[in-house]
Structure 1
Amino acid sequence: MNADGPRGEAEAGAGLSSPLMPHPLPGRASRREVWAWAMFDFANSGYTTVVLTAVFNAYFVGVVAAGQGEGLATLLWTLAVGISNALVLVSAPLVGAIADHSAAKKRFLLASTLGCVIFTAGLALVGPGDVALAMTLLVLSSFMFASGENFIAAFLPEIATPERMGRVSAYGWALGYFGGLLVLGLCLAYVTWAGGRGQTAVDYVPVVMLLVAVAFALAALPTFLVLRERALPTPLDPDCPAGWRCWIRAGWGRVADTLRHVRRFTDLFRFLVTLTVYHAGIQTVVVLAAVYAQQVLGFGTNEVLVMILVVNATAALGALAFGRMQDLMGSIPTLALTLVIWILAMGLAYLGGTKTAFWVVANLVGLAMGASQSAGRALVGRFSPAGRSAEFFGLWGLAVKLAAIVGPVSYGLISYGTGGDHRLALLSTLAFFIVGLALLLTVNEQRGLRAAREAE
């Protein structure tokens, strides 16, 4: 992979300045290109913030599937999220390897972006009782969204040196939270306006879905106009007959080679197991926090939206602060600290049964969420050899999406089995963070970095 950008490009970006933006990266990318890369985080955050976290999840449980009963409605929501993540789990390593082999990460990113935008807009067609339609569109939009996350993350080793990867990743994550804040703020303003005119969720949620789709499409434009594909394609096997089968064979070959050399990347795979466990807790909070707030604590739609706005703000601050800390003191200690915060937040959520206590929990969650997700992405980037970033981030996506199946579905099954006891289901979320912290201490960061350099 040719990771060196022209000198003139770095100089062209030198005029851009921002207290949040890292300095230009010698031999990697200009400030302008780093900004364009981070703008994809800005663009896609509206989807996860509004669809998965704040609005459509509660709309699905409380309106679309309300006739199924609370316990079954929650289970159906978690199953839809689980199915979409299972699709990513199966496809991510292979598609990532093909994207590496063909140097086509940007084309794959474009296809996944268009898919997410179209299927998110389709959610505007969902009304009360349309359970099958809602689940189908959610599965497809979430699959496209998650695939795009893998492809954009795979550009990180191309635009950032290992020494600055933590803060560059954090910059993207922080900008993403600001994007989520902007889209959620627009949605909150519209919901408030619509509610003041007597409209209900059935009236305003479809419009909110269209707002999210349009915002994603517009905000992603800088990424596709500015971000460069630095990778060079690897020639196909000359004995392979022409056609898509050659790319499939090449992709499987790269995945098989990685799996054959697991021992060379011991710490990467240990971390992927660790990430799967603690991300199961994170994904549960992302897709069920609004449901918990409404069903257990009696939050209204406006209260939930305001809470998610606050969480996005604290998450952006947490990502920036811990991103710099990660580059100074290492990824493992930084991640360990964020997991301790997660454990404290989940413990307080279980013990406290008031709205005031939940506001404290929400801010702790925001602080830890941005930091833990950003630090995990950066560590995978540090452990990835040059030229195989999409493949290794495909494995990262596999781990994250396996977590997104195990965490929310575990919560949904416990809630269903206990007749809708959300507080008991919350204990499974706490357990994921405790076990994740214990596993994290088995990862040797320096040994993982050496393995990546030797593989190059």
Structure 2
Amino acid sequence: MKKLTRAEKSWILYDFANSSYGLIVMTVVLPIYYKNHLANGLPEALSTAEWGVANSIGGFLVAILAPLLGAVADAWRFKKVFLVIFLILGVVFTGMLSFLDTGMRFTALTIYVISLIGFSGSNVFYDSMLVDVTVKKRMDWISGLGYGWGYIGGALPFLMCIGLILVGTYMHTSLAMEKTSFIITAVWWAVFSIPLLMFVRQKYVVRGKHTFGQAMSNILNTFKQIRQYKNVLIFLGAYFLYIDGVDTIIRMAIPYGQEAGVTPRNMMISVLCLQFLAFPFALLYGRLGTKFGAKPMLYVAICVYAVITFCGYLMPGLSSITARQVTFYLLSFLIATSQGGIQALSRSFYSKLIPKEQAAQFFGFYNIFGKFATIIGPLMIALAGYTVGDSRYGILSIMFLFLFGGWLLTKVQAPAAEN
């Protein structure tokens, strides 16, 4: 295999850069900081519900903006421009999280939603620039390296933050150290984005009329074309359901674990272990997918996640704190076995279903489904918290996303490449 080009290395480094946000802000430190300090005194179920609503709002806004901005970016060579705009938005508002104090929960949620829009929006254009940095036969390899280095890029600053927080606990300055974590995240994200900004250029532009109306027309045409492929539509429906469950667990695991009585220290350690375990298991899923087919391995991953959600529902009912904390570790391990695999195999299976000559348009629709899939699950948990005051029922409802998604997947006819 030919050595990595400078553009390929620079593209991969952006995943290394922004994964710090996904782990520290979206998944671990901010959820703990929010529940312990910003929403202090609020019932646990209600604070979990508010966190779920914030994630749904951010996901919805990005899902609305992404297809339109993507069409404009393709037409006017604006991919990098939009990436920079969302990058700055994400970095600045991530840094602003360090200025929040106890009781400022609505301000915190607003700043978080804006930073989430920056993170998710920049990823839309980052993903789309893969075609600009490498050739088709190297795309799977380069994309996989991005995933792999992303796990490392999330774990390294997270280790720094854990160290600071543990030191702060003993020195009674943990609040200041948690705030420092957001500054570390913003700086890490900004610094390691520099190579992409310097060495990656957009090569491909959509031919034809470059107007706002044409951009809207391109979106409608893509929708009309994809409706002709029933197999693709069924898979997108299945993907929408089960990937919503996956994303919900990523975003809501820490608030839910804290509600169940798991200590912040144990949650941080379990998530750190998850980061290092997820990469080799993602590679294992890839090898098994090559041997047995992507669809059977997707069934395995969906079943694992169904077990995770059911056990998560039972966890708060366990009699002792120790039992709950051990269960949280076990659930983290199960997530590590399947998180990378279900994401990678979904993409590769979809690529076998679609016409190659229209791959860019069809993958644009795939990304839209993925963005909208960050809305339902967090809202289900929020609804359970608001109505019955117990997030367990929201977690149990997530299991049905996996079950219905798996059932829809059975209706998808596997392509010849799978047989």
Q: Would you call these one fold, judging by a TM-score over 0.5?
A: yes
Partner of 1:109: 83
Taking the aligned partners of 2:297 and 2:217, their CA distance within structure 1 comes to 35
Conservation of the 8 A alpha-carbon contact between 1:169 and 1:323: no
User: 5+ residue gaps in structure 1?
Assistant: 1-22, 238-245, 450-456
Give the one of 337, 340, 347 matched to 1:367.
337
Taking the aligned partners of 1:107 and 1:384, their CA distance within structure 2 comes to 30
TM-aligned CA distance change 1:270 to 1:158, over 3 Å? farther
Matched residue type, 1:24 = K
The 5-angstrom pairing of residues 201-212 of structure 1 reads 201=175, 203-212=176-185
Does residue 56 of the first structure (1) align with residue 30 of the second (2)?
yes
Q: Alignment partner of 1:66: what SS? A: coil
Partner of 1:151: 125
Q: Alignment partner of 2:374: what SS? A: helix
Does residue 213 of the first structure (1) align with residue 177 of the second (2)?
no
Matched residue type, 2:190 = A
Q: Alignment partner of 1:431: what SS? A: helix
Give the one of 9, 24, 28 matched to 2:2.
24
Taking the aligned partners of 1:287 and 1:343, their CA distance within structure 2 comes to 17
Conservation of the 8 A alpha-carbon contact between 2:72 and 2:215: yes
TM-aligned CA distance change 1:314 to 1:78, over 3 Å? same
Give the one of 393, 396, 400 matched to 1:424.
393
TM-aligned CA distance change 1:227 to 1:268, over 3 Å? farther
Taking the aligned partners of 1:91 and 1:172, their CA distance within structure 2 comes to 24
Does residue 122 of the first structure (1) align with residue 85 of the second (2)?
no
CA positional deviation for 1:110: 2.0
CA positional deviation for 1:289: 0.9
Partner of 1:224: 197
Taking the aligned partners of 2:243 and 2:355, their CA distance within structure 1 comes to 20
TM-aligned CA distance change 1:266 to 1:97, over 3 Å? farther
Q: Alignment partner of 2:227: what SS? A: helix
Matched residue type, 1:95 = L
TM-aligned CA distance change 1:345 to 1:72, over 3 Å? closer
Give the one of 76, 80, 93 matched to 2:67.
93
Taking the aligned partners of 1:325 and 1:180, their CA distance within structure 2 comes to 26
The 5-angstrom pairing of residues 44-443 of structure 1 reads 44-157=18-131, 165-201=139-175, 203-236=176-209, 246=211, 248-296=212-260, 298-327=261-290, 329-352=292-315, 353=318, 354=323, 355-380=325-350, 383=354, 389=360, 392-419=362-389, 421-443=390-412
CA positional deviation for 1:143: 0.9
Partner of 1:8: none
| Equivalent residue pairs, number | 410
CA positional deviation for 1:342: 1.5
TM-aligned CA distance change 1:329 to 1:32, over 3 Å? farther
User: 5+ residue gaps in structure 2?
Assistant: none
CA positional deviation for 1:445: 4.8
CA positional deviation for 1:323: 3.1
Conservation of the 8 A alpha-carbon contact between 2:167 and 2:174: no
Matched residue type, 2:62 = V
Taking the aligned partners of 1:107 and 1:387, their CA distance within structure 2 comes to 25
CA positional deviation for 1:378: 4.1
Q: Per-residue CA shift, 1:369-424, capped at 9, x if unaligned?
A: 111122334445564756773x54443333223221100110121123222x2333
Taking the aligned partners of 1:262 and 1:387, their CA distance within structure 2 comes to 10
CA positional deviation for 1:262: 2.5
Conservation of the 8 A alpha-carbon contact between 2:25 and 2:31: yes
Taking the aligned partners of 2:190 and 2:343, their CA distance within structure 1 comes to 24
Matched residue type, 1:259 = F
Q: Per-residue CA shift, 1:303-350, capped at 9, x if unaligned?
A: 221111011111122222223444555432332222122223333333
TM-aligned CA distance change 1:164 to 1:98, over 3 Å? same
Q: Per-residue CA shift, 1:111-136, capped at 9, x if unaligned?
A: 21121111111111211111221111
Partner of 1:243: none
TM-aligned CA distance change 1:393 to 1:214, over 3 Å? farther
TM-aligned CA distance change 1:392 to 1:216, over 3 Å? farther
TM-aligned CA distance change 1:107 to 1:267, over 3 Å? farther
Taking the aligned partners of 1:271 and 1:34, their CA distance within structure 2 comes to 30
Taking the aligned partners of 2:351 and 2:129, their CA distance within structure 1 comes to 9
Matched residue type, 2:170 = G
CA positional deviation for 1:140: 0.8
Taking the aligned partners of 1:224 and 1:437, their CA distance within structure 2 comes to 40
TM-aligned CA distance change 1:267 to 1:64, over 3 Å? same
Q: Per-residue CA shift, 1:36-92, capped at 9, x if unaligned?
A: 322222111111111111111122123212343222222211111111111111111
Taking the aligned partners of 1:399 and 1:62, their CA distance within structure 2 comes to 33
Q: Identity across aligned pairs (percent)?
A: 26
Q: Alignment partner of 1:234: what SS? A: coil
Taking the aligned partners of 2:356 and 2:218, their CA distance within structure 1 comes to 13
